[in-house]
Structure 1
């Protein structure tokens, strides 16, 4: 089982926790090999990643990707971290013999076996397998030509890397980014969905559980699809009641002071199994989460109203984040 993460030194604690959780939940898997795309990764972070792999008897390769953004030129990430774009270059950086890889964002925790996901059979011309994201603004998808298509979250993806290479998927997606960067709010995720439209296999929501399943019930999520096929109610219930992968999307993350994430304790437990045991919480969030919890309590009876408010707020938050990143870069 080949597992891919990408990170810089600041995100090493989260990735170490994710690695520990994956190893602990998949002890019966004979071979697990971690590939780490490291951007300006310092020696301490690199050694801690290696230490987690060693302690679970797993192998690891840390691959420096400094300078990878040269492939994207003057690309505007709209406030997102540019490191997420590196996953598009997996065929370039991973060894030629790696024919299948499971990509995980660093903000994930694995709670059960991934063998069934890893052994997913692709059909027809399918290239990757992931989970449907119902909460993406359908008006934005219409502008991208995806209004009548399923849209997939790119944080957790199983990739047929052999076919990816044979068909030059990397070049197609990178070229699309270069030609249409100003249209891609979600950067690599939008590009993947556009270039591989109709070629992505939907797997159980168990493999990419996020807070959307707390805030919106099945009826609401299904209605947000506007007639585009979604999970059946039974598949939704099975997948969300016993998730295999928790994806800490959004601002409510278990390493931030004052959060009440449903799966906070799971993250902290696995963090405690890494060299980052006891690392302090990210400060400055307590007031934010007080307001966040009040907002969620008030909006709980009105999921569609909540969705409309959040959809309008996301671009505002990302613009603020973009300005902050620019300021940090100048300093």
Structure 2
């Protein structure tokens, strides 16, 4: 089993929790190789990650890919996201040619049970397996020329890397970024959806549980996906009842003081098994989370109103993130 993560040095503790969760729940897998693509991990973080992986008798290769913008246009803008998100588009370039299939995991995920059913999923001649993101707006899908199609989250990807290479998918994705950079919001994710729309197999939400599954009822998610059909209510409810992979998407993350994420104890447990176990909580979020809980309580009876408000505020959040990144 080959697991790929893309992180910078600031996300090493979260990645460690993810790695520990994979190892703890997949002890019966004979071989697990971890690959971290990074623009630089400072010591002692790198050494701690190696120590963690070796304690489970697994392997880790930390691959420094250098300046990621050398592969994109000089004026390419990630719109407030860390540039490391683009590394997943380049993984075939940096991974050994012997690696034919990979499971990509965002650094802000944790695994709660065996990955073998996911790893052994037949992609049915598709390049990628991914979980739908119902909350992608109709305007965003229209800008990517997939208005009538499904939109997927790129935080968990099962990838046929042999087919990726043989079909020159890296070039396809980079060309898409170059030709559509004016409309890209989540650069890598939009590119994957726009360029590979007909080559993605839909996976169960169990493999990429995000906050929207908690905040919105099934009926609202169905409306958001239109005109594309969403999965059946029966399959949806079974998948989210006890998910395999939790993705801490959004601002309410379990390493931030004052959060009440429903899977925060899972994250804390796996972090406790790593050399980063004494990592302090990120401070300064308490007031934000109080306001967030008030907003969620007030809008719970009106999910589509909540959706419209959140969608309208996202550009503001991203401009704030971009300004914060420029300051640091």
Shared fold, TM over 0.5: yes
Query: Is the deviation greater in 317-326 or in 266-275?
Result: 317-326
Structure 1 residue 179, shift from structure 2 partner: 2.0
Distance 2:40 2:61 in 1: 15
Distance 2:231 2:278 in 1: 39
Structure 1 residue 252, shift from structure 2 partner: 0.2
Q: Which runs of structure 2 are paired with 1:221-236 in the superposition (5 Å)?
A: 221-236=221-236
Instruction: State the match for 2:273 in structure 1.
Output: 273
Instruction: State the match for 1:213 in structure 2.
Output: 213
Q: Does 1:258 align with 2:258?
A: yes
Instruction: State the match for 1:56 in structure 2.
Output: 56
Q: Is the 1:18–1:107 contact (alpha carbons within 8 Å) kept by the matching residues of 2?
A: yes
Runs of 4+ in structure 1 off by over 2 angstroms are none
SS class of match (2:304): helix
Instruction: State the match for 2:97 in structure 1.
Output: 96
SS class of match (2:7): strand
Instruction: State the match for 1:120 in structure 2.
Output: 121
Query: Is the deviation greater in 200-209 or in 31-40?
Result: 31-40
Structure 1 residue 56, shift from structure 2 partner: 1.1
Instruction: State the match for 2:238 in structure 1.
Output: 238
Instruction: State the match for 2:141 in structure 1.
Output: 141
Per-residue deviation, residues 146-187 of structure 1 (Å, max 9, x unmatched): 111110000100000000000000011011112221110110
Distance 1:16 1:144 in 2: 34
Distance 2:149 2:227 in 1: 10
Structure 1 residue 229, shift from structure 2 partner: 2.0
Structure 1 residue 321, shift from structure 2 partner: 1.1
Q: Does 1:174 align with 2:155?
A: no
Per-residue deviation, residues 17-42 of structure 1 (Å, max 9, x unmatched): 00000110111111110001122211
Distance 1:68 1:184 in 2: 17
Q: Is the 1:76–1:182 contact (alpha carbons within 8 Å) kept by the matching residues of 2?
A: no
Q: Is the 2:68–2:83 contact (alpha carbons within 8 Å) kept by the matching residues of 1?
A: no
Instruction: State the match for 1:106 in structure 2.
Output: 107
Instruction: State the match for 1:84 in structure 2.
Output: 85
Instruction: State the match for 2:150 in structure 1.
Output: 150
Distance 1:78 1:235 in 2: 35
Distance 2:5 2:287 in 1: 31
Distance 2:326 2:60 in 1: 33
Query: Is the deviation greater in 215-224 or in 157-166?
Result: 215-224
Distance 1:173 1:271 in 2: 34
Unpaired runs of 5+ residues, structure 1, are: none
Q: Is the 1:135–1:224 contact (alpha carbons within 8 Å) kept by the matching residues of 2?
A: yes
Distance 2:9 2:327 in 1: 20
Q: Is the 1:150–1:228 contact (alpha carbons within 8 Å) kept by the matching residues of 2?
A: yes
Distance 2:172 2:294 in 1: 45
Structure 1 residue 234, shift from structure 2 partner: 1.2
Per-residue deviation, residues 119-142 of structure 1 (Å, max 9, x unmatched): 111214x10001001001112211
SS class of match (2:57): coil
SS class of match (2:35): strand
Unpaired runs of 5+ residues, structure 2, are: none
Query: Is the deviation greater in 189-198 or in 35-44?
Result: 35-44
Distance 2:222 2:115 in 1: 26
SS class of match (1:43): coil
Structure 1 residue 43, shift from structure 2 partner: 2.3
Q: Is the 1:222–1:230 contact (alpha carbons within 8 Å) kept by the matching residues of 2?
A: yes
Distance 2:69 2:121 in 1: 31
Distance 1:108 1:117 in 2: 15
